[in-house]
Amino acid sequence: MKVGFVQYNPVFGDVDENFFKIEKMLKDISTDVLVIPELFATGYLFENKAQLLSLSEPAGGGKTYEFLKNLSKKMDALIIGGFPEKDGEDIFNSAIAVKPDGTFHIYRKLHLFNREKIFFKPGNTELNPFEFRGVKFGMLICFDWIFPESYRTLAMRGAQVILQPTNLVLPYCQKASFARAIENRVFIVIANRIGEEKMENISLRFTGESIIYSPEGEILARASENEEEVAVVEINPEKALDKWITERNHIFDDRRPEFYER
C-alpha cells in the first residue's frame, strides 16, 4: 500500500486558490492514501467567529467535501484533509477521510490548541478506526500529538496507520511522534503546512517537516522546513499487527493499567 502527504502554503481565505494549488501538486501523483494539512483550504489564523463561520461547511455537504470527493475518485485513493465543520451553532476543527465512492469518515479534534478554544467547540467523536482496502486507519489532528492516550486508544482498537493533518507551530511534534509510533507499533503520517500567517499583533510560523514513521520508528519520508512538497512511500500495513517487542514482551499484554493514573 502507498501512503503519502502534501505539504504546502495555503492562501488564507481563498478556498478555490488552495484547491487549485493542491490539484496542481498532485497532477502526476499515484497513491492509495494521501493526507493534506489541517484547515488546508481556509488557513488558520481567524480574526473572529464570523470570519470562521463564513469559511465553515457541514460534513459531506460543502465545497471542501466536493473537492476531496472528486480528487479521491480521480486518484482512486483515500484522501484526508482538515476543514472547519459547521454543525448547527457549533464549529469543529475536523478532518474528513473521503473514499473514491464518496463515503467518508469524520473526526473532530479532541484537544484544541491555544486560540482554537475561542472559536471551535472541542471534538466529540470517538477514537474509532475505519477500514479502507483491508487496512484499519485512525485519524488525529495536530495538537492531539501531545496526548499519548489518543494514539494508544486508536492502536488498541486496531488502527494500523494513523493519519494526522496538522498546522504545527511548536517544534516538538515530529520528534515526539517517533515515540508514538514505536510505543504503539503503528505507522504515522503527518501532513504539516509551511509559511506564515499574521493578524494584528499575532504572527505564526508553521514548521513544515511533514513526516512518515514506521512501527519501528524509521523515518520513511520527511519534508523540508519551508518547501512545498508531496511524498509517497510504500508500506506493509501488516507490520503494524505485530505488537511483540521481544519474544516475551507484547506492548499491549504487558500493560499494568491497575498501577496507572486515570
pLDDT for 262 beyond 90: no
| Active site (annotated) includes residue 117 | no
Q: 241-248: which pairs have CB atoms within 8 A and are 24 or more residues apart? A: 241/160, 242/185, 242/215, 243/185
230-205-64-54 Cα dihedral, nearest 10 degrees:
-170
| Active site (annotated) includes residue 247 | no
Residue bearing cell 484547515: 39
The domain made up of 2-259 is a member of CATH 3.40.920.10: no
Amino acid of residue 126? E
- For residue 143 the three cell numbers come to 495538537
Catalytic: which of 99, 142, 173, 197?
142
Return the percentage of the chain with pLDDT > 90, whole number. 98
Amino acid of residue 17? E
β-partners of residue 108 are: 94
pLDDT for 216 beyond 90: yes
Average pLDDT, the chain: 97
Q: Are 31 and 17 in contact (CB under 8 A)?
A: no
Residue 255, SS3 per DSSP: coil
- Tens-digit pLDDT profile for residues 50-64: 999 999 999 999 999
| Active site (annotated) includes residue 38 | yes
pLDDT for 188 beyond 90: yes
Ramachandran area for residue 124 (φ above 0: left; ψ -120 to 50: alpha; else beta): alpha
Question: Any idea where the domains of the chain sit in the sequence?
Answer: 2-259
Catalytic: which of 38, 57, 116, 197?
38
DSSP state string for 30-81: --SEEE--TTTTT-S--SSHHHHHHT-B-TTSSHHHHHHHHHHHHHTSEEEE
Q: How far apart are alpha carbons 238 and 245 in whole angstroms?
A: 15
- Tens-digit pLDDT profile for residues 152-171: 999 999 999 999 999 999 99
Q: How far apart are alpha carbons 105 and 160 in whole angstroms?
A: 16
pLDDT for 200 beyond 90: no
Q: How far apart are alpha carbons 62 and 56 in whole angstroms?
A: 8
Q: For the purposes of burial, counting CB atoms within 10 Å of the CB of 11, is it exposed (0-12), middle (13-18) or buried (19 or more)? A: middle
Catalytic: which of 21, 86, 109, 136?
109
- Tens-digit pLDDT profile for residues 29-41: 999 999 999 999 9
Mean pLDDT over 77-95 rounds to 97
Q: How far apart are alpha carbons 257 and 259 in whole angstroms?
A: 5
Confidence of residue 198 (pLDDT cuts 50, 70, 90): very high
First to last CA, the chain: 37
